[in-house]
Structure 1
């Protein structure tokens, strides 16, 4: 089974763009903020010089300098002007200037992203899982519980309903991948069912079931009378028994690893949110007839080889 790569991985230059974007944005922000501060300081110094010239050249100042009795009033006027200038000079950097710079950077970044990627305003970054509508609905409504008999309703044949896929008892909303999981899609056989067994065996027609009993046999070697006899002669019947026990343990680990790979894909992929659990009766996995190993899985088995060294 193949998976569709994220959009970003389909653009060979997008990683470079991500690097440039993530490193240049702080620098641009620092540059813009510093420029605004320097401009503000320059305007303030110019205003202070104009006030000083105005106060020195004002008729009131010229008159009071020639009149001894008016010196006190002159000092008071100058003190008031200087106090007013100091109060205005001490005003903090305008928040509006900072917001204007940030908005400009965001708009410029979005525009450049769309021009380059032709598709995304955020450089092909995936939308966070928590912000998806399906995830928000799942949190709001609580975990969804469906039976195996309920799942087929959500296989994509009804366009008014979402598409659900179950894996190891967990339900995922794969509506975002309707092109793949809907009717006619390459993975439609996974929709509306818990096909955990098929995820391991790749027998998509026969193994659309969550029953994993006996699936480890696909990883077990085929019994061969001649080879097995040689092994018994080499390690004894007790050693041969231990060998088969070890083979089964390793086979079960292989099943867990194969299933765990796909669980990790849906859990960590971020595209298909987890929305609930499949409701089953206790002990369901031990009831009914054990499924037979499918033909393709059976063909993949190899003959047992004589082990090197100890068991």
Structure 2
């Protein structure tokens, strides 16, 4: 009976026989080792140190700063800068702009020049109440930036500012030229004076526009033909006093 059972026992199928495990080639092992990069671990360590540094700075400064009390943070580290980039430029009327003169500590401090508004909140001690440049806060004082008359010229009206760069007429000196020569010379003097006004204004626009502390937030919105409705201003006294007489003809020829 044992022989019968032995004959009837089914032979194992070749397909069911266990297969020997394949050994990885040396090439596969090298590829697996190359797939690992230590830079990922380095990035993890740097990220952890950065977060830990921010948390420690916030704790030590009692919630004042995440970046170790930096007074003038780069723009990309400032929430207000990112907010301005996200929201786009703002448009304020002169009346609305006046509310950002620094008197309200909950609002930023704005300075406008030639129609462009800049956020100067990081210089609140300068442009805010009691600051030496508080005259410029909450308004477009383009004229004052050129004339230097802070209190008198808090206006964007630039008409007549070129006069401060023009020589004073003097009958005795001017008699050295003919009428035609004098006319041509005055035309050239006016062109040079207008260029000086343009360059002076451009200097201050670039100063605020390229500053690491301040940034542009928008533009002043004015009513149509607003300038024609304003009375023409006289040149302020300090700017007028800075003018000199036209040089005599012989002094120019000597040069």
With normalisation by structure 1, the TM-score equals 0.62
CA distance in 2, matches of 1:306, 1:120: 65
Structure 1 residue 166 corresponds to structure 2 residue 112: yes
Partner of residue 99, structure 1 = 40
Equivalent residue runs for 1:30-49 within 5 Å: none
The answer to whether the 8 Å contact 1:157/1:183 transfers is yes
1:209 matched residue in structure 2: 155
Instruction: Report the counterpart of residue 299 of structure 1 in structure 2.
Output: 241
| Residue of structure 2 equivalent to 1:249 | 191
The count of corresponding residues between Structure 1 and Structure 2 is 218
Q: Out of 219, 224, 229, which is 1:282 matched to?
A: 224
**CA shift for structure 1 position 131:** 5.5
1:89 to 7, 30, 33: 30
Alignment of 1:47-86 (within 5 A): 81=23, 83-86=24-27
> Could you list the runs of 5+ residues in structure 1 that have no partner in the other structure?
1-76
Q: How does 1:258-269 map to 2 (within 5 A)?
A: 258-269=200-211
Q: CA deviation at 1:271?
A: 2.3
Q: Is the 8 A contact 1:182 1:188 kept in 2?
A: yes
Partner residue in 2 for 1:136 = 82
4+ residue segments displaced more than 4 Å = 102-108, 119-122
> What SS is found at the alignment partner of 1:99?
helix
Partner residue, 1:53 = none
Q: Which residue of 2 aligns with 1:219?
A: 165
Distance 1:251 1:275 in 2: 31
After TM superposition, give the deviation of residue 85 of structure 1 in Å.
4.2
Query: Is the contact made by 1:134 and 1:273 (CA closer than 8 Å) also made in structure 2?
Result: no
> C-alpha offsets along residues 246-281 of structure 1, whole Å, 9 cap, x if unaligned?
111110110000000000011111322211111112
Return the match for 1:237 from 172, 175, 179. 179
Q: Distance in 1 between matches of 2:46 and 2:80?
A: 31
Cross-structure match for 2:126: 180
Conservation of the 8 A alpha-carbon contact between 1:153 and 1:192? yes
RCO (CA 8 Å, sep 6+): is it higher in 1 or 2? 2
Would you say the 8 A contact 1:227–1:305 is kept in 2? yes
Task: Provide the residue aligned with 1:195 in structure 2.
Answer: 141
Work out the CA distance in 2 between the residues paired with 1:266 and 1:190: 13
Unaligned runs of 5+ in 2: 1-19, 58-64
How far has the Cα of 1:84 moved from its partner? 4.5
Could you tell me whether the CA contact under 8 Å between 1:134 and 1:173 is conserved in 2? Answer: no
TM-align CA RMSD = 3.0
* Distance in 1 between residues matched to 2:87 and 2:101, nearest whole Å: 21
Q: Distance in 1 between matches of 2:96 and 2:138?
A: 8
